[in-house]
Structure 1
């Protein structure tokens, strides 16, 4: 008996020593290849790029992994209990390896011949998730065990748990418990109830098998098992247990919804970040704050969409997007699922046609009425210039089975509509810094991600004329200079054939003041000014505004706006008039912070001297923190005389007061300046305008250039969009005009001669002049035979007057 006991004893010693030697050998073999556990303290989890408005509203999130790291002290204790009950209830007591769990896994392997569970503790899972692959092998398991032991020696239990809950994959691109709570419940892990926490705690074992969206029955079983474990371990009382068991599975997919719809802004910011940081832009957790205030962007979205819908409905109804007659409700819903909402216009199937309107079925399975009043606009579209007869009843417009578009109103009612065929773009800038205040690149980003605000080069038409007039003012002409608005035949080195330009209404007014010519948009006056100044000289001047030489034609058609420019470029050029003559550079990104909120970049734009940030961007001043080196403020370059800019503003105000922009008088303000633009055959519609706070440009047209219609102009398509935007952003703001610079004179002028008027001159008016360009008094001239009605002799009139 004693011999047997000795044999057993020495056998155990031998086995123990063998195991010890094996483990030591494995440690000596594997330890040189083990990564440093200390690196876990500096681990950088992949966090997506997030883009925000200037007032901290989320615009977009970019990145493959949805992750929102959470600190251990922010994790609810109930969730920690649920997680440990599900994954490692002995976590607080073991040192990284649970021998009991490993023995159970080994027994399962021996019985079945297959690896059924790894016996892993949470610490071992941290080792695997951060350092190893998912390969199932004994060497990988040995490495995992050794790493777990090292992790337990160097990190606290709280640190280990924090790493685990932020790293694990929990389905639907959600990494970490905070992201999972947002994806499945649309709220933070801190706001979940016990049943919901148990549901999240059940996911690490198999995110696909126990997913409440994919397999709610199995997910509920797993949840209830965890709740039972919590109750048996004494972590919750019976009342809490029973209440949680009674909870229904209420998980549903929550797409990270932006707080502000600005997809074109988001894409511009994303592209700039990739240009700065490459692929790391998507993983390093950068937080980008743009210059765009949410309120202004929302107004821009609404103004552009409403303006395009209004234009579209003026030109009739093009019919349903599809017809699905004779189908069941289920089939209709299945077909509707193939259609996306575009610019807030929802797809719907007509299920009933009545005298008072129609009933439609929407994608959310609701049947709702659409009133006849909202359908009366729907005359049949024949072509851009022709419409069919007015509909007399809903049946004249649509029939059962038609897939149509409806627009949900604020009161929840539906309005009959259609997706506009035309497109538009809007850009609004701070004229003193170039900060983008709002930008919309089209009717809907989902319909087309082509950003017309910065990519579409179109002819600006008459909205380009202010640059010609500015060149004239800086060349010695004045707002009172007379230019002959008369027919002309042109042939020069840059034109291959003779050109007979004309005004849009084919009329001619004879000698006309430059101010009047601008607000009446007289083409022949612009051409004569450009001809008199010279093409090359004028181009050099106009290029100062930021236009690329290759986009400007080297011929007299430039005076009519035949350049190829984007709305952003036009807005940038117009900012010079609004800010007193200074060149600014549009910019979008105001601030970049890292994942910890540390500033990496602060914009330092070249600003107009003496200007302050707009009210909306006042909290985003350069180097708002002391963590970045303070940069010397940059000063914008002055490219035209500030007096020229002021006179141009005065002349452009007249465009609104008495010219082609008169509709803007409805805004009830006296601080607005602007200009319409319409190209040949009305293929492009423009309006650019400003006050001392904002400069805004709107373009409208078709992506493939075609006529907007015989009676459509800049004043009928683009201007209403501009008005809706500027009217809203300037509401309750005082009138604000640029400050009048020194060196200007206001003189009474003779309307016939353009000279300083003598006392008693009939119809004399006041005009602005640069002090050195003021006209001589009438007393210096003798009455003679000049322009009919003029007291000036022909040989004493300026050359420009004689064309």
Structure 2
């Protein structure tokens, strides 16, 4: 017995020594690994890379920009279902342990022993806190190493993190940081990427699938490894049921639910808004830099009106296609060997993704009356070509526009489909319409237009760009012709010249001679003889109103010569059309180069009464915390910050300190004259809108560009059409701005103003409306009827009974004077004396 006692005492002493040695060793190990632990306090100020989101004026999503697709959600915004799903999959004891789950470790060890030798993946024992420690605090190269040293550091950090932060904070960091596949970081982004839903809309099955992804997102791909993905999803559903977080019936329904993903791409989310979105992206990049754009989590509210954008895209594309088809069919996109599975071969041909409802197709067989075509199949999420094959017919009605390219009937409308199409032709087609309705199963041949152009739509009172079309297809060319293409505006620049004149003593009834003129350009430049569009035809003395209505070049040159190009250059700069305008008279006819956005901005200043506007695509930018860091509207609001609400005090007042670039009365005079251009001038096609619209056409030398710029009281638009490598659009009237650009404006205004009242342009205080003869500009007598109009005059400038004519000195006075002209009509009177010039 004594020996037993001594032996037990020895064992106890030895055990104590071993225990103490073990404790000492453990303490030493803890001290060793604690020396160079990462600084976990940085989690307090952690700002993960968050995507920048761009929204339209109505709040709809336009685009997202990021390196890591992440939306940061506070834990309070994450639904309980989603939280429970991730706890069930990763760490069901999360709210009970102190950073290390010893129970979970034991369970994992037992499961590992039971499955030893099988191919089943070992059950993990890392807690969510440990995963936070690994993902946030270790370098990328150390994260991928599986080592005892890193695991010990991970565990030590987890315990320290648990003491420093609340459970909710730790879970919030985890749910926003984890990578869940397909480029999505965090649950909010993953919900959008996989299911195109917010987290609040996820079903049990969808939440369980997302919760299954953190450990192996590539292995659980929803298409390539669908069965494995469903198996793991159902495992999470079982854990939810086991923990009592969902009901039995809900679990059974979730297990049976198919795994259907609805992925979203990274492009513009608003149809037809690609050019607008890219312009916004460039703007943000220039303001804040690359890091802020792709990681800063900015919220950008743009000026884009999605409805107006669709209208602009529709009408501009239709105008380009109409012109292009009139030039004839140029042949297929390419040729394809249609033997075997034509769908797989066609799927490899690059097609444009933003020209819906056009679709790429291949001609499978042809006859005189029709061609059977097969449409390009889509691709599944994994990249495989979809198995479904869709076909349709192109009948003779679908190719009537395609002129025969060769042979005795070259240039004539085809009499059979086989004259135009051959098997293997890769083409574009869209539904065929008759009487406004689609014909079932029949399609129309299409071709990508060679001609291009641009449209910019603006709110003239604020400078907010409502819509922008930078070309036919952004997928085809990202060059934004509305902002980056510098083209000659031609006669659409003339209102700037006339504004300078009216602002400096001239009136709409000033008479200028439309007659040949010679300009000595000096220094060996020779003699310049400007001509009107209808070369060789002149109208003699005419009012400025009529000269602008008929776009007479010689009148504009005489006017520019009279007031001086330096003054016109100052106005061009003031309106933002040009930064610097050379002092050559040819520039008064729009020979300089500018953009559609600059032109619509200039006309907006005329439309709003002469106030300067700065074009903007962005209303407001907020940082990730909701603080406004940019706001376009700089007007001061007096009385808007009443702390106690409204108590019958005077209404708030907006103080507008924007520069007055043009006299208000001058702006109305030009507006009235431009309205006359639409009613009876070169833009009469726009008159079909049936609402007050003012505007001016423009056609450059050799008809390389065709323009229309104009406005209603609330919408301004600039349109040009031309080839990217400038060449003539044609000959005669068929290639003018009135024939090509103005019809696009007509169609746009019909859509944009469809539900708007016909509000006339506002007449400013001080303007005097006087009835005058529409041709001579002289006061109308009591009995005059027929061709009289109400002309707008500033105080003291209404016409008296005598007048003089600009340009009569270098013209035949007997031929140029209107009937009843006084003998001294050849004297040029100084501006401001009340005469006609």
Match of 1:153 in 2: 163
Match of 1:708 in 2: 729
Match of 1:357 in 2: 370
Match of 1:366 in 2: 390
The answer to whether residue 618 in structure 2 is matched with residue 589 in structure 1 is: yes
1:213–1:253 contact (8 Å) kept in structure 2: no
Distance change in 2, residues 1:691/1:36 (3 Å): same
What's the offset of the Cα at 1:553?
Answer: 3.5
What's the offset of the Cα at 1:19?
Answer: 4.3
What's the offset of the Cα at 1:559?
Answer: 2.2
Distance 2:218 2:787 in 1: 84
Match of 1:798 in 2: 828
Distance 1:167 1:300 in 2: 41
What's the offset of the Cα at 1:27?
Answer: 4.6
Distance 1:297 1:234 in 2: 50
What's the offset of the Cα at 1:83?
Answer: 2.7
What's the offset of the Cα at 1:328?
Answer: 2.2
Match of 1:389 in 2: 412
Q: Deviations over 1:37-58 (max 9, x none)?
A: 5543443232100111111010
Distance 1:25 1:672 in 2: 86
Match of 2:310 in 1: 298
What's the offset of the Cα at 1:213?
Answer: 3.0
Match of 1:313 in 2: 325
2:304–2:467 contact (8 Å) kept in structure 1: yes
Match of 1:141 in 2: 151
What's the offset of the Cα at 1:761?
Answer: 6.3
The answer to whether residue 637 in structure 2 is matched with residue 637 in structure 1 is: no
1:687–1:699 contact (8 Å) kept in structure 2: yes
Q: Deviations over 1:492-515 (max 9, x none)?
A: 348712122211111111222211
Distance 1:600 1:751 in 2: 53
Distance 1:336 1:135 in 2: 37
Q: Helix, strand or coil: the match of 1:455?
A: coil
Distance 1:381 1:638 in 2: 56
What's the offset of the Cα at 1:146?
Answer: 1.4
What's the offset of the Cα at 1:14?
Answer: 4.1
Match of 1:431 in 2: 460
1:676–1:687 contact (8 Å) kept in structure 2: yes
Match of 1:564 in 2: 593
What's the offset of the Cα at 1:375?
Answer: 2.2
Distance 1:495 1:102 in 2: 94
Distance change in 2, residues 1:4/1:591 (3 Å): farther
Q: Among residues 99, 107, 114, which one is paired with 1:96 in the alignment? A: 99
Distance change in 2, residues 1:5/1:446 (3 Å): farther
Q: Helix, strand or coil: the match of 1:771?
A: coil
The answer to whether residue 402 in structure 2 is matched with residue 378 in structure 1 is: yes
1:584–1:606 contact (8 Å) kept in structure 2: no
Match of 1:769 in 2: 793
Distance change in 2, residues 1:430/1:248 (3 Å): closer
What's the offset of the Cα at 1:162?
Answer: 2.5
Match of 1:48 in 2: 51
Distance 1:183 1:753 in 2: 68
Q: Among residues 621, 624, 633, which one is paired with 1:604 in the alignment? A: 633
Match of 2:709 in 1: 688
Number of residue pairs aligned between Structure 1 and Structure 2: 779
Distance change in 2, residues 1:19/1:371 (3 Å): farther
Distance 1:719 1:788 in 2: 33
Distance 1:791 1:757 in 2: 15
Match of 1:615 in 2: none
The answer to whether residue 564 in structure 2 is matched with residue 545 in structure 1 is: no
Moved more, 635-644 or 79-88: 79-88
Distance 1:117 1:232 in 2: 17
Match of 2:757 in 1: 734
Distance 2:263 2:18 in 1: 54
Distance 2:405 2:199 in 1: 53
Match of 1:617 in 2: none
What's the offset of the Cα at 1:678?
Answer: 0.7
Distance change in 2, residues 1:680/1:243 (3 Å): same
2:451–2:724 contact (8 Å) kept in structure 1: yes
Distance 1:509 1:155 in 2: 86
1:52–1:290 contact (8 Å) kept in structure 2: yes
1:494–1:554 contact (8 Å) kept in structure 2: no
Match of 2:422 in 1: 399
Match of 2:500 in 1: 471
Q: Among residues 259, 278, 281, which one is paired with 2:293 in the alignment? A: 281
The answer to whether residue 217 in structure 2 is matched with residue 217 in structure 1 is: no
Distance 2:177 2:778 in 1: 80
Match of 1:193 in 2: 203
Match of 2:193 in 1: 183
Q: Helix, strand or coil: the match of 2:764?
A: coil
Match of 2:20 in 1: 17
Match of 1:650 in 2: 672
Distance 2:458 2:634 in 1: 13
Q: Helix, strand or coil: the match of 1:590?
A: strand
2:352–2:473 contact (8 Å) kept in structure 1: no
Q: CA RMSD in A?
A: 3.5
Distance 1:703 1:356 in 2: 37
Match of 1:613 in 2: none
What's the offset of the Cα at 1:212?
Answer: 1.9
Distance 1:13 1:415 in 2: 92
Q: Among residues 400, 411, 422, which one is paired with 2:451 in the alignment? A: 422
Match of 1:522 in 2: 552
What's the offset of the Cα at 1:5?
Answer: 4.3
Distance 2:127 2:785 in 1: 99
Q: How does 1:665-680 map to 2 (within 5 A)?
A: 665-669=687-691, 671-680=692-701
Q: Deviations over 1:349-400 (max 9, x none)?
A: 1223355533322223322334432321111469xxx971101122222122
Distance change in 2, residues 1:184/1:7 (3 Å): farther
Distance change in 2, residues 1:553/1:415 (3 Å): farther
Match of 1:166 in 2: 176
Distance change in 2, residues 1:157/1:508 (3 Å): same
1:580–1:738 contact (8 Å) kept in structure 2: no
Q: Helix, strand or coil: the match of 1:170?
A: coil
Distance 1:592 1:791 in 2: 63
Distance change in 2, residues 1:247/1:762 (3 Å): closer
What's the offset of the Cα at 1:198?
Answer: 2.6
Distance change in 2, residues 1:293/1:802 (3 Å): closer
1:577–1:646 contact (8 Å) kept in structure 2: yes
Q: How does 1:28-43 map to 2 (within 5 A)?
A: 28-29=31-32, 31=34, 33-34=36-37, 37=40, 39-43=42-46
Q: Among residues 65, 74, 88, which one is paired with 1:85 in the alignment? A: 88
The answer to whether residue 311 in structure 2 is matched with residue 268 in structure 1 is: no
Distance 1:494 1:342 in 2: 53
1:756–1:778 contact (8 Å) kept in structure 2: no
Moved more, 123-132 or 26-35: 26-35
Distance 2:674 2:695 in 1: 5
What TM-score does the superposition give when structure 2 sets the normalisation length? 0.85
Q: Helix, strand or coil: the match of 1:637?
A: coil
Moved more, 85-94 or 53-62: 85-94
Distance 2:405 2:588 in 1: 35
Distance 1:190 1:771 in 2: 65
Q: What are the ranges of 5 or more consecutive residues in structure 2 without an aligned counterpart? A: 378-388, 645-651, 806-812
1:755–1:777 contact (8 Å) kept in structure 2: yes
Moved more, 597-606 or 657-666: 597-606
Match of 2:489 in 1: 460
Distance change in 2, residues 1:780/1:243 (3 Å): closer
